[in-house]
Amino acid sequence: MGSVKSGLTVVYKNGGKSRPEEREDPMKITNALTAESAPNPHGVSARPIYDSPNAMAVHITLMPGQSLKKHVTPVDVFFYVLEGTGVVEIGEEREKVGPDMLIESPARIPHRLANEGDQLFRVLVVKVPKPTESTKIL
């Protein structure tokens, strides 16, 4: 049985090979709270935590008053709310969402997330398949 490693990101021991059959250690554990935030046009905390040829996942934290700019992705996206409440806009629809809700957003439909509350709003964003085109800010 493996040990739990908290407070750090565990990396591959074999030079970053991504396919399990190419790695000595097929398991990779990433702590979403300590992963490095990537620069983004929204100016928010966006921490890439999974990236493969088939999909990608980003841990987004929106502070009170923060939001993503309305944008369009070339692939389907789903959002899984980890903490807090916020607003999701997809096309002309607007809904308040909270923990343990999963929201589907089809490809090429304008969407955004907003934190209109007074607590953190943390969301796991998964794009499937991994986009080969850029996201377009509107």
Q: Of the given ranges (42-46, 51-55, 61-65), which has the lowest mean pLDDT?
A: 51-55
Query: Residue 52: which of 108, 107, 128 has the closest Cα?
Result: 128
Task: Kindly state the tokens that stand for 83.
Answer: 């903490």
Residues 13-22: what's their mean pLDDT? Answer: 52
Taking the C-alpha atoms of residue 98 and residue 44, their distance in angstroms, rounded to an integer, is: 19
Contact between 122 and 61 (Cβ < 8 Å) = yes
Q: Delimit the domains of the chain by residue range.
A: 1-31, 37-137
Residues 96-121: what's their mean pLDDT? Answer: 98
Superfamily of segment(s) 37-137? Jelly Rolls (2.60.120.10)
Q: What are the two backbone dihedrals, phi and then psi, of residue 20, each rounded to the nearest 5 degrees? A: -55, -40
pLDDT of 135 strictly over 80: yes
pLDDT of 132 strictly over 60: yes
Where on the phi/psi map is residue 19: left (φ > 0), alpha (ψ -120 to 50), or beta?
beta
Q: Give the pLDDT band (50/70/90) at residue 5.
A: very low
Q: Of the given ranges (5-19, 63-77, 100-114), which has the lowest mean pLDDT?
A: 5-19
Residue 27 is predicted with a pLDDT of: 86
